Structure 1
Amino acid sequence: MSQKIDLNTSLIGQIEKELSGLPLPDTPNSLYDPFRYALKMGGKRVRPFMCLLANGLCGGNTDEAIPAALAVEILHNFTLVHDDIMDRADTRRGVESVFHKWDTNKAILSGDVMFSVSMQQLNYYGSNEKFGKHDYAALNEVFLNAITTVCEGQALDMDFVDRQDVDHDEYLNMIAGKTGALLGASLEMGAITAQAGSDTRKKLYSFGMELGLAFQIQDDLLDATADPEKFGKKLGGDIYEGKKTYLTILALERADGENKAFIQQVLDDNNPANDSVTKVLEMFHQLGVIKDISNEVDTHYEKAEEILNDFSESPYKTELNNLLLFLKNRDH
């Protein structure tokens, strides 16, 4: 069996074991049952996995990074619980969302306790003599800064719903907050648990930010270019839903008066005609939006790859590189 499979299986298995073994109280069940349910809904565990890989990449003991990895994964799931409330999303990962299965009040409160439990994981580093007060302070600072940035990104995303003047720089700032910040923090926290230096920490944070930007922009791009059967929804689904994406924002910036008005009209239409959506997709190509955004995705992945190349060869670097290549080449 290859080293890649061994390491991947071992680390993901350890994450799952620790999450399922969290010492949560049985009562009140209205508080903790939704918590357990949210963690059992699945997910790829990308953030805790990256936290452990960063620790190993920096020469640490991955066991020492487990509490930090749990902190970022519990926090991530907390944000999903609250996002579903704000979006009124009935499902998450193919099953009922927490607020839909219980109710809004229970989902809010369960999310709040998830936030608390995520913070509690970091107490390990404050009470373990292997780590100094500077390590503990750094972990808390990175974690709390990420939480603030994620909330800022979510606030911008909600603000954009009622605005027609969102520019592409604002959109990039929003996705950097919503997606990039926690990926970057997961990696930097892993580095801190290996007691890596500040330059190494910054590199790994930047690596995560570049991956986050590339991933989210790529998601917008795939909506307009992917095979619908693989992507799971029809081409131009974001246009049908009237969503502001990097593509629609850039197209509106580049289109002339008549074409700009047409794109906005289609986005504002609650039930746009198929022909109209197809025309908007064609305009994305004509305006160079598809080409330029595709190049931008490649640029972010290339920057991430350059950062990773600075590190010495190891199974942990191999896993991070495999993750990068998987994301870069995904078609859905």
Structure 2
Amino acid sequence: MAQTELHQNLYTLIEKEISELQIPKLPVTLYAPYSYTMETGGKRIRPFLVLLACGICKGDVLDAIPSALAVEILHNFTLVHDDIMDSAETRRGNPSVFNKWDQNTAILSGDVMFADAFRQLEFYGSNDSFSKQEYAEINKTFTKATITVCEGQALDMDFVDRSDVDHHEYIQMIKGKTSALLACSLKLGAISAHATESQSDILFSLGTEMGIAFQIQDDLLDAIADPGKFGKRVCGDIYEGKKTYLTILALERADKEQKEFIESVLSEENSKEKEVDAVLQLMKELEVIADTALKVEQHYNKAIDSLNNFEDSEYKQELKNLLIFLKNRDH
């Protein structure tokens, strides 16, 4: 994605504000992992969306900074706790907090990040330019998103031991794990610009569509991406027996014999390449690949089309460019 001057300026602002977070030094075991997590980078897509939404709604992006920091801290908190749950040794190419310190340290540092994310929003309660109603809506939006993320994670965990997950449930899980914070980011940006309720709701829906499209697209690319570009094993989800939009849809459409074969391959600890290729071929025959690609396109198009509700601006164009870039990605 070509970087515009606006793109560069917003990302520079985000990194500056993150670097200036007032994270205490003591106790070291509590705050060092917090600082470490925020310094290890990441795409910063959520704070970027906050600032874009504020600009789209004709607001002052500086008023959106507390919301941008809140969503980025909360996002990183979820990663710290996810790594504990997954016993993950690395995160973004670096040792995870869980691995670099220990489980208890990761839990407690994650907890303080969670609290500090909410503390960022106090700005709107102490700033006279924001009404009590706007402050309440910001807190309501952020709290609801936090709960929805947890619900999505719980569903994902439940799916591991279930053989009857349908694609509608999978979409619901995506709305929690992937969409919730994207939608929240856009809505917080709108509220920080004193946008109308309608504008806030449209941007929230855009974020939901964006998250659904992105996750299903990830599932699709895992199966069909160019190995040279993908950077990891193609069909890795099948080898690992993961429940994805593709595998769930394939099981729903398969006849008894096909279903038994797909389930047997997914349940094997060391699936053979020939078997995985056969599952992929079945997905093509059952039109799972084609229909999934269409589903991705529909969700991205819905997100892009919703921007027609806003006046043209460099912020609107930047978000449109991002959506088009994501829609066309091949790895």
TM interval, short-chain normalised = over 0.9
Shifted more, 171-180 versus 5-14: the winner is 5-14
* TM-score of the superposed pair, with normalisation by structure 1: 0.98
Structure 1 gaps of 5+ residues are: none
Q: CA offset at residue 228 of structure 1?
A: 1.6
Inter-partner Cα distance in structure 2 for 1:204 and 1:248: 31
Inter-partner Cα distance in structure 1 for 2:117 and 2:34: 12
Deviations along 1:169-199, one digit per CA (max 9) or x if unpaired, are 0000000111111100000000000011110
Counterpart of 2:231 in structure 1 is: 232
Q: CA offset at residue 229 of structure 1?
A: 2.1
Inter-partner Cα distance in structure 1 for 2:324 and 2:42: 19
Instruction: Read off the aligned partner of 2:249 and give its amino acid letter.
Output: L
Q: CA offset at residue 230 of structure 1?
A: 1.2
Deviations along 1:209-232, one digit per CA (max 9) or x if unpaired, are 000000000000000000122111
Q: Does 1:31 align with 2:25?
A: no
Counterpart of 1:46 in structure 2 is: 45
* TM-score of the superposed pair, with normalisation by structure 2: 0.98
Inter-partner Cα distance in structure 2 for 1:150 and 1:229: 33
Counterpart of 1:148 in structure 2 is: 147
Shifted more, 306-315 versus 213-222: the winner is 306-315
Deviations along 1:124-149, one digit per CA (max 9) or x if unpaired, are 00001111111110000000000000
Counterpart of 2:258 in structure 1 is: 259
Deviations along 1:137-174, one digit per CA (max 9) or x if unpaired, are 00000000000000000000000001111000000000
Counterpart of 1:314 in structure 2 is: 313
SS of residue paired to 1:243: coil
Counterpart of 1:188 in structure 2 is: 187
Instruction: Read off the aligned partner of 1:330 and give its amino acid letter.
Output: R
Q: Does 1:296 align with 2:306?
A: no
Inter-partner Cα distance in structure 2 for 1:160 and 1:178: 13
Inter-partner Cα distance in structure 2 for 1:151 and 1:329: 30
SS of residue paired to 1:23: coil
SS of residue paired to 1:50: helix
Q: Does 1:20 align with 2:32?
A: no
Inter-partner Cα distance in structure 1 for 2:241 and 2:87: 16
Counterpart of 2:126 in structure 1 is: 127
Counterpart of 2:245 in structure 1 is: 246
SS of residue paired to 1:107: helix
Counterpart of 1:287 in structure 2 is: 286
Instruction: Read off the aligned partner of 2:213 and give its amino acid letter.
Output: A
Q: CA offset at residue 203 of structure 1?
A: 0.2
Counterpart of 1:57 in structure 2 is: 56
Q: State the superposition RMSD in angstroms.
A: 0.9
Q: CA offset at residue 40 of structure 1?
A: 1.3
Instruction: Read off the aligned partner of 2:218 and give its amino acid letter.
Output: D
SS of residue paired to 2:130: coil
Inter-partner Cα distance in structure 2 for 1:84 and 1:316: 34
Identity of matched residues, %: 60
Q: CA offset at residue 26 of structure 1?
A: 0.6
Instruction: Read off the aligned partner of 1:303 and give its amino acid letter.
Output: K
SS of residue paired to 1:324: helix
Inter-partner Cα distance in structure 1 for 2:137 and 2:69: 17
Inter-partner Cα distance in structure 2 for 1:50 and 1:233: 28
Inter-partner Cα distance in structure 2 for 1:12 and 1:19: 11
Instruction: Read off the aligned partner of 1:61 and give its amino acid letter.
Output: D
Give every structure 1 segment of 4 or more consecutive aligned residues whose post-TM-superposition deviation is greater than 4 Å: none
Deviations along 1:54-82, one digit per CA (max 9) or x if unpaired, are 00100000000000000000000000111
Q: CA offset at residue 5 of structure 1?
A: 2.1
Inter-partner Cα distance in structure 2 for 1:248 and 1:111: 33
Inter-partner Cα distance in structure 2 for 1:91 and 1:309: 41
Instruction: Read off the aligned partner of 2:177 and give its amino acid letter.
Output: K
Q: CA offset at residue 300 of structure 1?
A: 0.2
SS of residue paired to 2:4: helix
Inter-partner Cα distance in structure 2 for 1:228 and 1:98: 30
Counterpart of 1:223 in structure 2 is: 222
Q: 1:41-120, aligned counterparts within 5 Å? A: 41-120=40-119
Q: CA offset at residue 88 of structure 1?
A: 1.2
Inter-partner Cα distance in structure 1 for 2:215 and 2:131: 36
Structure 2 gaps of 5+ residues are: none
